[in-house]
């Protein structure tokens, strides 16, 4: 069981040119007071938009809003520990994994350290190029392994391909990214809450605000009318049948409230803090009838 | 190696340079001279060149040697090989007894469980050495480490519920103490005394490595690869300039952690700082992992035991950008490719890069290149590439490759020295010290005989002759480093670099070449005896 004091870590993967950097800059722009730390493998190809940078040293870039960006070179864990010991510790860490790295291996290494917990592996794909990349003789199997590691796949640049192609990609991903929920985006744009699992003590106060071009996402709160086994609830919400992007909140159980989180097919159950209130927020690209009936089951039965 | 004077009785040396070879009578006309007869009963051959090693071996010798084979340390002590697990524990215990600081960690190196029927060293085994200090032993491959309970505890890993492919768990749900892969070795390694940047050497380690060179007859050695921080570069330039430092070191800048532009800029600035004994400016790329670690990238039919294909350490785009910029700036690039798919990527990438930057004499070299086939060697020749094959690997891991990793047929073709030479690919052979011991005469024996540790002759058709092997460990290696104009042969105008031998290398048979006794070296006219080093 992990402690709720752990710093959440998201791994952002995807091949060169897929839109990882755009995603990271979006997250920084919309950080809204949360302190994000971005770890990149290489410093030189500056991943941060110039207007966001406040100051820069050899080892760190300071970004407006208390965010930072560091490079991790050959020792990721050491870089994570250093960043977590900063005077103003980050609320969430994003690791940008390099083009041929396996994000699952990065997540496994990070989760061994007791100070961090994985909040999800997000893989950005270029909707136009992904099939070509996946059939490349050199990197094809690496791309497939990256997809297989993912919790959420962002079908980026979806405006550049037609509906038939997108529908094909989505069914292709059911097999290739078998643990992931996929979501269509343009300019790698989506609400921060989907990538960064907000830690909210009272889920009913949570406000997921979508800006105009990301209003495709929908969310709803599950109110529990009785006690459940938190593991079963979490497992259910991670079931591919519902294709939820994320869910998080607190489930009443016979032994008190427990916190659950899901991202794609990944789920976890931890102790709830003392002031938590029951309720779980679910986020999907579209709340379809299956999800509505699932919510009804928990609310009414 | 000098066609005009294949064998000679005298060599005239002035200011560290050879001014002539021949009879005393021929050389007398150079003018006033001092005849030095101290080597009259010995044999001088060109100073040996090791084209792929890591100077951090010098640092490793401060840790406890746990290898299976006998090996000499920099001070000349012969450390007996440890033939079973108990012997490893007992040597570590001896080392433990000598430690005064009760908190000091105890690092060991060069463990190779394949010689103990793959019986692994567990956390409990190492707890017999100490329960109060961290103990860790690095495997010979450099890719695995075994640690005791204290080390796991210090790293926060002595707990249940760890889910990591590189951390096997015991029946109790706790880690067994085996750690596979750098991701997981590095964070625990620091608690057992291994430096975070294990590629980097330190000052005394570099001096110790110089002593190993003298014992092996080596006058030019490589460091593949170094990150070359300002601090390390300054230290290496300073230490190699010391009058007592016996070798020339060529260090390659590791590509990792920099953008191609930064890498090229750093290599150019390092090149400008080169000194006679510290050659800088070349670049090292690592394309894939290791065959015995199943992380090398193989083409079909892949691994013999069905293991999934290995890992890339660079994207094709990244390799292409480095190749093009290096060609444009006349920088030498050596690329580690173990698997044949990694080799193919390097070939394809260079072929395209040469269309944009048609450099004539680039000498880009494939390092290890263990699984290349004849078609790939033909392609290397067409592209002007060189190769440095891992002859020693054949002896140490050939049986493993035969049984497990690539199977009999490809194991017999691996490190195909004969095919390389038959296709006119300039070739070196190497030890990859500390992975296997520095000693080009032994490396030559490996390439000549292709015997494995179990005495199997693996791939008779790929054997080379004694003469060819002697060429590979002198001029062959020098050519891959673009130093063949300065070193690698005994001829007028070249550096006065010699391996001083007690036995005649040209009289050596394929069997005896590894037993040639090394008296020491002469580097740029400076004499270093192995006994006194």
Give ipTM to 2 decimals.
0.85
Task: Enumerate the CATH 3.40.50.300 domain ranges in chain A, comma separated.
Answer: 7-193
A69 vs B344: which has the higher pLDDT: B344
Those residues with Cβ within 8 angstroms of residue B104's Cβ, 6 or more apart along the chain or in another chain: B133, B193
| CB-CB neighbors (< 8 A) of B182 in chain A | 74
Is B139 in the same domain as B246? no
Is B170 in the same domain as B241? no
Is B272 in the same domain as B178? no
Q: B261: nearest CA in chain A?
A: A44
Task: Determine the Cα–Cα distance for residues A149 and A122; give it in Å rounded to an integer.
Answer: 9
Contact A113 B156 (CB under 8 A): yes
In a domain, B24, yes or no: no
A21-34 pLDDT, tens digit per residue, is 899 999 999 988 89
B475-508 pLDDT, tens digit per residue, is 999 999 999 999 999 999 999 999 999 999 999 9
For residues B223-233, give the mean pLDDT: 91
Collapsing DSSP to helix, strand or coil, A131 comes out as: helix
In a domain, B102, yes or no: yes
- d(CA A181, nearest CA chain B) in Å: 22
Domain end: B132, B165, B192, which one?
Answer: B192
Give yes or no for residue B303 having a pLDDT over 90: yes
Q: Decide if B478 touches A, using CB distance below 8 A.
A: no
Facing residue for A42 by CB, picked from B164, B227, B257: B257
Task: Determine the Cα–Cα distance for residues A93 and A35; give it in Å rounded to an integer.
Answer: 9
CA angle B460, B463, B464 (to 5 degrees): 160
| CB-CB neighbors (< 8 A) of A78 in chain B | 186-187, 196
Question: Among B202, B179, B201, which Cα is nearest to B189's?
Answer: B179
Contact A42 B318 (CB under 8 A): no
| CB-CB neighbors (< 8 A) of A77 in chain B | 183, 186-187
Q: Decide if B487 touches A, using CB distance below 8 A.
A: no
| CB-CB neighbors (< 8 A) of B197 in chain A | 74
Task: Enumerate the CATH 3.30.1220.10 domain ranges in chain A, comma separated.
Answer: 200-300
**Enclosing domain of residue B86:** 57-192
Give yes or no for residue B176 having a pLDDT over 60: yes
Q: How many CB pairs under 8 A join A and B?
A: 79
A209 vs B211: which has the higher pLDDT: B211
Give yes or no for residue B409 having a pLDDT over 90: yes
Is B414 in the same domain as B474? yes
In a domain, B417, yes or no: yes
Q: With beta carbons less than 8 A apart as the criterion, state whether B452 and B406 touch.
A: no
Those residues with Cβ within 8 angstroms of residue A70's Cβ, 6 or more apart along the chain or in another chain: A37, A38, A39, A40, A59, A60, A61, A79, A82, A83
CATH of the domain at B377: 3.20.20.140
| CB-CB neighbors (< 8 A) of B175 in chain A | none
Is B94 in the same domain as B174? yes
Is B218 in the same domain as B171? no
Q: Which of B267, B296, B298, B316 to probe the A interface (max A CBs under 10 A)?
A: B316
| CB-CB neighbors (< 8 A) of A44 in chain B | 258-259, 261-262
If residue B58 lies in a helix (H) or strand (E), which one and from where to where? helix B57-60
A184: tokens are 């269509």
Those residues with Cβ within 8 angstroms of residue A296's Cβ, 6 or more apart along the chain or in another chain: none
Domain end: B192, B222, B252, which one?
Answer: B192
Q: Which of B187, B314, B321 to probe the A interface (max A CBs under 10 A)?
A: B187
Per-residue model confidence (pLDDT) at position A201: 36
Q: A107: nearest CA in chain B?
A: B164
Cis previous bond, B310, omega within 30: no
- d(CA B231, nearest CA chain A) in Å: 15
Q: A76: nearest CA in chain B?
A: B183
Contact A109 B197 (CB under 8 A): no
Is B389 in the same domain as B244? yes
For residues B260-277, give the mean pLDDT: 97
Those residues with Cβ within 8 angstroms of residue A7's Cβ, 6 or more apart along the chain or in another chain: A84, A89, A90, A91, A92, A93, A115, A116, A117
In a domain, B124, yes or no: yes
The residue assigned the tokens 């490893």 is B88
Dump the DSSP string for A13-49.
E--TTSSHHHHHHHHHHT-TT--EEEEES-SSS--S-
Residues of chain A where predicted confidence (pLDDT) is lower than 70:
1-4, 42-46, 197-216, 301
Q: Which of A3, A71, A133, A138 to probe the B interface (max B CBs under 10 A)?
A: A138
| CB-CB neighbors (< 8 A) of B259 in chain A | 42-45
In a domain, B32, yes or no: no
Question: Among B432, B48, B482, B496, which Cα is nearest to B279's?
Answer: B482
Task: Determine the Cα–Cα distance for residues B56 and B218; give it in Å rounded to an integer.
Answer: 16
Report the 10 Å Cβ neighbour count for A167: 10
For residues B333-346, give the mean pLDDT: 98
Per-residue model confidence (pLDDT) at position A81: 85
Contact A102 B257 (CB under 8 A): no
Per-residue model confidence (pLDDT) at position A205: 37
- d(CA A44, nearest CA chain B) in Å: 5
| CB-CB neighbors (< 8 A) of A99 in chain B | 315, 317-318
* pTM (predicted TM-score): 0.90
If interface means Cβ-Cβ distance under 8 Å, which residues of chain A face chain B? Answer: 15-16, 41-45, 71, 73-78, 98-100, 102, 105-106, 108-109, 111-114, 138-139, 141-142
Per-residue model confidence (pLDDT) at position A59: 76
Is B207 in the same domain as B188? no
In a domain, B143, yes or no: yes
Contact B312 A139 (CB under 8 A): yes
In a domain, B18, yes or no: no
CATH number listed for the domain at residues A7-193: 3.40.50.300
* Residue B384's pLDDT band (cuts 50, 70, 90): very high
Those residues with Cβ within 8 angstroms of residue A237's Cβ, 6 or more apart along the chain or in another chain: A244, A247, A260, A262, A267, A280, A282, A294
Mean pLDDT, chain B, whole residue set: 95
CATH of the domain at B187: 3.10.310.70
Is B94 in the same domain as B234? no
Contact A139 B262 (CB under 8 A): no
CATH number listed for the domain at residues A200-300: 3.30.1220.10
Per-residue model confidence (pLDDT) at position A95: 95
Per-residue model confidence (pLDDT) at position A213: 42
Is B146 in the same domain as B228? no
The residue assigned the tokens 């060189």 is B386
- d(CA A211, nearest CA chain B) in Å: 35
B290 vs A44: which has the higher pLDDT: B290
Q: How does DSSP classify residue B7?
A: S
- d(CA B413, nearest CA chain A) in Å: 23
Q: What is the total count of domains within chain B? A: 2
Per-residue model confidence (pLDDT) at position A4: 56
- d(CA B289, nearest CA chain A) in Å: 13
| CB-CB neighbors (< 8 A) of A16 in chain B | 315, 317
In a domain, B284, yes or no: yes
Facing residue for A112 by CB, picked from B157, B186, B261: B157
Contact A16 B183 (CB under 8 A): no
């Amino acid at each position: 069981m992990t402690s709720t004091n752990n710093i959440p870590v998201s791994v952002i993967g995807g091949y060169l040119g897929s839109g990882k950097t755009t995603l990271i800059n979006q997250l920084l722009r919309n950080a809204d007071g949360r302190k994000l730390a971005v770890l990149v493998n290489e410093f030189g190809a500056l991943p941060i938009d110039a207007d966001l940078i406040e100051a820069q040293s050899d080892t760190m870039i300071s970004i407006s809003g208390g965010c930072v960006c560091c490079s991790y070179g050959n020792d990721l864990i050491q870089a994570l520990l250093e960043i977590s010991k900063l005077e103003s510790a980050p609320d969430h860490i994003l690791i940008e994994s390099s083009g041929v790295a396996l994000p699952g291996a990065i997540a496994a290494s990070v989760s061994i350290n007791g100070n961090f917990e994985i909040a999800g592996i997000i893989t950005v794909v270029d909707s136009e190029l992904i099939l070509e990349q996946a059939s490349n003789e050199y990197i094809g199997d690496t791309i497939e392994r990256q997809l297989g590691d993912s919790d959420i796949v962002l079908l980026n640049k979806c405006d550049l391909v037609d509906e038939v192609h997108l529908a094909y990609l989505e069914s292709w991903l059911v097999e290739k990214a078998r643990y992931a929920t996929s979501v269509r985006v343009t300019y790698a744009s989506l609400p921060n809450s989907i990538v960064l699992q907000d830690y909210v003590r009272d889920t009913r106060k949570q406000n997921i605000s979508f800006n105009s071009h990301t209003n495709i996402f929908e969310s709803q709160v599950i109110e529990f009318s009785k006690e459940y086994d938190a593991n079963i609830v979490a497992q259910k919400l991670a079931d591919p049948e519902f294709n939820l992007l994320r869910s998080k909140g607190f489930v009443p159980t016979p032994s008190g409230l427990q916190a659950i989180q899901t991202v794609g097919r990944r789920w976890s159950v931890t102790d709830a803090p003392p002031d938590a209130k029951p309720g779980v927020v679910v986020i999907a690209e579209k709340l379809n009838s299956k999800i509505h009936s699932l919510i009804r089951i928990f609310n009414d039965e | 190696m000098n066609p005009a004077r294949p064998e000679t009785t005298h060599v005239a040396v002035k200011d560290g340079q050879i001014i002539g070879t021949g009879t005393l009578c021929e050389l007398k006309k150079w003018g006033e001279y001092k005849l030095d007869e101290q080597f009259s009963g010995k044999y001088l051959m060109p100073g040996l060149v090791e084209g792929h090693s890591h100077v951090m071996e010098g640092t490793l010798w401060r840790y406890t040697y746990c290898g299976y084979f006998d090996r000499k340390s920099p001070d000349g002590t012969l450390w007996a090989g440890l033939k079973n697990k108990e012997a490893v524990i007992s040597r570590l215990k001896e080392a433990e007894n000598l430690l005064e600081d009760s908190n000091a960690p105890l690092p060991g190196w060069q463990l190779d469980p394949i010689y103990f029927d793959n019986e692994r060293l567990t956390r409990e085994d190492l707890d017999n050495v100490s329960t109060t200090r961290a103990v860790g032993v690095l495997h010979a491959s450099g890719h695995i480490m075994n640690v005791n309970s204290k080390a796991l505890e210090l790293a926060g890993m002595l707990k249940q519920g760890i889910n990591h492919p590189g951390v096997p768990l015991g029946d109790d749900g706790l880690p067994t103490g085996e750690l596979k892969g750098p991701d997981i070795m590095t964070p625990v390694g620091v608690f057992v005394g291994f430096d975070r940047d294990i590629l980097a050497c330190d000052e005394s380690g570099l001096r110790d490595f110089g002593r190993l060179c003298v014992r092996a007859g080596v006058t030019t050695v490589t460091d593949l690869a170094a990150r070359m921080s300002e601090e390390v570069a300054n230290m290496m330039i300073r230490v190699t300039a010391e009058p007592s430092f016996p070798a020339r070191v060529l260090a390659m800048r590791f590509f990792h952690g920099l953008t191609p532009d930064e890498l090229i800029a750093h290599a150019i600035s390092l090149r400008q700082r080169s000194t006679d004994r510290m050659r800088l400016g070349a670049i090292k790329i690592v394309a894939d992992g290791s065959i015995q670690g199943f992380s090398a990238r193989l083409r079909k039919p892949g691994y013999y035991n069905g293991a999934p294909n290995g890992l890339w350490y660079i994207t094709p785009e990244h390799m292409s950008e480095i190749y093009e910029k290096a060609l444009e700036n006349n920088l030498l690039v050596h690329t580690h490719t173990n698997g044949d798919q990694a080799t193919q990527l390097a070939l394809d990438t260079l072929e395209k890069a040469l269309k944009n930057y048609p450099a004539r004499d680039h000498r880009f070299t494939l390092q290890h290149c263990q699984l290349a086939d004849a078609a790939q060697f033909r392609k290397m020749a067409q592209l002007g590439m060189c190769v440095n094959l891992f002859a020693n690997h054949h002896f140490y891991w050939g049986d493993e490759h035969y049984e497990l990793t690539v199977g009999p047929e490809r194991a017999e073709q691996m490190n195909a020295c004969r095919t390389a030479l038959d296709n006119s690919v300039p070739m070196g052979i190497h030890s990859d010290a500390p992975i296997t011991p520095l000693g080009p005469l032994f490396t030559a024996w490996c390439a000549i005989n292709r015997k494995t540790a179990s005495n199997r002759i693996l791939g008779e058709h790929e054997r080379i002759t004694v003469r060819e092997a002697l060429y590979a460990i002198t001029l062959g290696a020098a050519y891959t480093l673009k130093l063949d104009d300065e070193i690698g042969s005994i001829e007028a105008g070249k550096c006065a670099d010699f391996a001083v031998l007690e036995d005649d290398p040209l009289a050596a048979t394929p069997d005896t070449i590894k037993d040639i006794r090394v008296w020491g070296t002469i580097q740029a006219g400076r004499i270093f005896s192995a006994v006194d080093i």
